[in-house]
Amino acid sequence: MIAPEIPDNEAERLKTLRALNILNTPMEERFDRITRMARRLFDVPIALISVIDEDRQWFKSSMGLAVRETPRDISFCGHAILDNNIMLVPDVRKDKRFFDNPLVSSEPNIGFYAGCPVRAPDGNVLGTLCLIDTKPRDLSEEDLEIMRDLALIVEAEIATVELTTVDELTNISNRRGFLMLAEHGLNMCARRHLPASLVMIDIDQFNAVNEAYGHREGDRALRSFSEQMKNKLQASDLFARIGSDEFVVLLTNSSVQSAETVMTSFTKILSDFNARINRGYELTFSYGIVDFNANRHSTVEKMLADADIIMYDQKKKKRYSERLAEKS
């Protein structure tokens, strides 16, 4: 094993890192949504956003890996920050730097690694967006370009005030944050001819909750709904609150049938939540799923519009069924 070298500008790099106050902070949805997307798009078990300080590799976002840090001297990302380009290691067991690394011989049993440097606004490299698999594999030039795009989004999030892309009430993505990353995801699906499904969700009778219990309880209901979404959809690419009582989910490399299965499971989870909490009202929802069509959906907004039509059609049918039930 070969420990990573120290960059020539290490003192300046660490000064920038400390000034950003990113180390030892909680995981955040705005970063987790990027690693969720990376893991699904590249079909890897682990996707990370790492930050390298003096003696460790610390993860701002970690999908598929339980630990929050590893020592710098055994880190792959410590090597990746030394170059401006993506560090691609198709088979780590054939690389003299890593073949006897403890991260290879034991958990997480790394077999493949790709790390794209992530920079601060001043140009200093903070860490990487990295992909890890347990078996050897390779990435195409197109894959590498997609990875660079995702790393640029990480850099933009580091440089951007959080409230511009995160909903303050629910602490999940807002409309702007969703549109920014969904555009990249759908462009990638179009280039690689992968399926994608978008689910538009509207909470049923939300205004009635506000009228009967007050807006404070309405806010509580929205937070509860988003928490249940997080619990169920954490492995999905993107979920966001895009309106007062409207939410959206984007699943890349996922068919409409798979999205239906996800929503059926979420319905059951929400039903169990209602029975357990028993607040005097139930959180239920209507939804519409649309299949991504690259010719029809030139923008994310067009896909949202199609899903919105399907969702409101379902909502009307549900209301009609409820009125019939009341009369019988």
Domain boundaries, the chain: 10-160, 175-327
What is the average pLDDT score of the chain?
Answer: 91
53, pLDDT greater than 80: yes
Measured CA distances, 222 to 81, 146, 179 (Å) = 41, 34, 21
Report pLDDT digits (tens) over 222-280: 999 999 998 888 666 689 999 999 999 999 888 999 999 999 999 999 999 999 988 99
284, pLDDT greater than 90: yes
d(CA 6, CA 299): 43
Can you tell me the mean pLDDT for 32-59?
Answer: 94
Can you tell me the mean pLDDT for 270-292?
Answer: 94
Under the banding of pLDDT at 50, 70 and 90, the label for residue 87 is very high
Under the banding of pLDDT at 50, 70 and 90, the label for residue 13 is very high
Q: Tell me the percentage of the chain whose pLDDT exceeds 90.
A: 70
324, pLDDT greater than 80: no
φ, ψ of residue 78 in degrees (nearest 5) = -60, -35
Please tell me the pTM assigned to this model.
0.67
d(CA 203, CA 221): 10
The pLDDT of residue 289 is 96
Q: Which residue has the tokens 């169990």?
A: 272
The pLDDT of residue 328 is 64
Matching CATH number, 175-327, of 3.30.1490.100, 3.40.50.150, 3.40.50.2000, 3.30.70.270: 3.30.70.270
The pLDDT of residue 92 is 96
d(CA 155, CA 153): 5
Three-state SS at 48 = strand
The pLDDT of residue 325 is 67
CA angle 316, 321, 326 (to 5 degrees): 125
266 token code pair: 């979420």
The pLDDT of residue 230 is 85
Beta strands 87-89 and 69-71 are unpaired
102, pLDDT greater than 90: yes
The pLDDT of residue 90 is 97
Measured CA distances, 116 to 32, 51, 127, 145, 151 (Å) = 16, 12, 8, 10, 7
Say which residue, 289 or 164, is predicted with more confidence: 289
d(CA 58, CA 39): 18
d(CA 84, CA 257): 41
Please state whether the peptide bond connecting residue 108 to the residue before it is cis, i.e. omega within 30 degrees of 0: yes
Strand partners, 131: 47, 114
The pLDDT of residue 22 is 87
d(CA 91, CA 170): 41
Measured CA distances, 255 to 187, 240, 268 (Å) = 16, 20, 20
The pLDDT of residue 55 is 93
CB hemisphere CA count around 277 (13 angstroms):
16
Would you state the CATH architecture of domain 10-160? Answer: 2-Layer Sandwich (3.30)
24 token code pair: 């030892």
Handedness of CA 70, 71, 73, 78 (dihedral sign): positive
Q: How many CB atoms lie within 10 A of CB 201?
A: 23
Report pLDDT digits (tens) over 207-217: 999 999 999 99
Amino acid 75 reads S
Strand partners, 198: 250, 290
Report pLDDT digits (tens) over 150-209: 999 999 888 875 447 788 899 888 998 888 888 888 888 888 888 999 999 999 999 999
Beta strands 196-203 and 125-133 are unpaired
The pLDDT of residue 74 is 96
